Structure 1
């Protein structure tokens, strides 16, 4: 896990001075102004404190299980405690309440109630994306995806269709691609969006291979659903890139697969690889994309993590920021 960013905030205050000796003294002063020392406020502190509070509520839910937790629940609680520690990193010890300690308070519903709490915590983190600095936003998106995975492990159904990625970025202004050079900060955003678009092109191609190697059963249906989701996400990034005045990079003629795909087992492995790779792409995108579109990138990260889990990939403790995955290579054709 990368350490959170440290942004600084310089506050300027105006002091009304009365006329008289104090004014004269100020006017006679020479030399540079004294340097302001001491800790500067962390603008991410309020977001971190809210994230810690949401984590504490979730941990309290685990501690309120009517019976001692089984190995699965104990493992999920331990992961949630790790997320709390990551979100609290950098906060003064006096500002952070003590973490909950496993106890036996009033019983609550077991797995179904915990799944609801996991979903609620994920949504709380997503709601604060635009208020966070880039590095903290990346962490919030990753931890939100992890809570969605926990909910899936606890048996919760997939998120509603309206919450799936692929929605059109309505906040994006329209523009004609190539009307002016893309420079400055916008060029950085476009470059990262082009990278996400390229990864989606590769995923769309890869799922064509996956579907061709699977028998006509529920797995093939899953592959078709994932293929359509990646096409929709691809279209979303194309529209956003166009709105920023750039031309979306077209798909390559073909893509070099990371390994031969000759069987149904190879196909499921490829699907898991594609989704895992994309979690890293979207974790990076959250740090750069304009804030109105952070949620879209974070939901894409979440959905890729959930699909990777469904295809049998090992769950990452911090989806998207646990380490780089191999990439597919485009080929001419």
Structure 2
């Protein structure tokens, strides 16, 4: 994989981490029953975001910035809020799978850890376990 491709895919994952942080803040603020779970999930996403921003810089890029808001379905209840979090976690898993291919060992290790974290998060938020997460 070329450095340019690795940079592009890392930027995509970084953008999803920004979105996950935004979604978790939304879910935690709007649904008291989910506040603790959302707060517990935030630090891992913030750490991943920071590490991905460093990786983008190391690859010669400028890290993609967070957006003021994201085009997500407004969750009307806790079930819809859980589905919203599962969706962003599924998209993170898919982004990680794209990075697992022929890339640097460091990027591959990071992507495998990210895939595992996203798959486990999907289950924590109510998804059924998948044999091969991120391969939809």
TM superposition score normalised by structure 1: 0.39
Tell me if structure 2 keeps the 8 A contact 1:189–1:289: yes
Tell me if structure 2 keeps the 8 A contact 1:207–1:226: yes
- Aligned match of 2:37 in 213, 222, 229? 222
Query: Per the alignment, in what secondary structure is the counterpart of residue 255 of structure 1?
Result: coil
- Aligned match of 1:240 in 43, 55, 65? 55
Q: Please list every run of at least 4 consecutive aligned residues from structure 1 whose deviation after the TM superposition is greater than 4 angstroms.
A: none
Give the Cα–Cα distance (whole angstroms) in 2 for the partners of residues 297 and 318 of structure 1.
Answer: 14
Query: Per the alignment, in what secondary structure is the counterpart of residue 254 of structure 1?
Result: coil
User: Which segments of 5 or more consecutive residues in structure 2 lack a partner in the other structure?
Assistant: none
User: Which segments of 5 or more consecutive residues in structure 1 lack a partner in the other structure?
Assistant: 1-133, 135-184, 324-333
Any idea what the Cα deviations from partners look like across 1:248-297, whole Å, max 9, x if unmatched? 1111221100x221222221121121212211111111115411231121
Give the Cα–Cα distance (whole angstroms) in 1 for the partners of residues 102 and 64 of structure 2.
Answer: 18
Residue 281 of structure 1: aligned partner: 95
Give the Cα–Cα distance (whole angstroms) in 2 for the partners of residues 239 and 306 of structure 1.
Answer: 24
Give the Cα–Cα distance (whole angstroms) in 1 for the partners of residues 83 and 66 of structure 2.
Answer: 23
- Aligned match of 1:300 in 95, 110, 114? 114
Query: Per the alignment, in what secondary structure is the counterpart of residue 101 of structure 2?
Result: helix
Tell me if structure 2 keeps the 8 A contact 1:213–1:263: no
Which protein has the larger Cα radius of gyration, Structure 1 or Structure 2?
1
Would you say 1:309 and 2:123 are equivalent positions? Answer: yes
Residue 19 of structure 2: aligned partner: 202
Aligned length: 136
Any idea what the Cα deviations from partners look like across 1:167-197, whole Å, max 9, x if unmatched? xxxxxxxxxxxxxxxxxx2111111111111
Give the Cα–Cα distance (whole angstroms) in 2 for the partners of residues 260 and 220 of structure 1.
Answer: 17
RMSD: 1.6
5 Å matches for 1:1-333?
Answer: 185-215=2-32, 217=33, 219-257=34-72, 259-321=73-135, 323=136
Residue 145 of structure 1: aligned partner: none
Tell me if structure 2 keeps the 8 A contact 1:241–1:248: yes
TM superposition score normalised by structure 2: 0.91
Tell me if structure 2 keeps the 8 A contact 1:213–1:262: no
* Residues 1:288 and 1:241: Cα distance change in structure 2 (over 3 Å): farther
Query: Per the alignment, in what secondary structure is the counterpart of residue 306 of structure 1?
Result: helix
Give the Cα–Cα distance (whole angstroms) in 2 for the partners of residues 308 and 244 of structure 1.
Answer: 29
Tell me if structure 1 keeps the 8 A contact 2:99–2:107: no
Tell me if structure 2 keeps the 8 A contact 1:192–1:288: no
Deviation at 1:315, TM superposition (A): 2.1
Give the Cα–Cα distance (whole angstroms) in 2 for the partners of residues 250 and 212 of structure 1.
Answer: 22
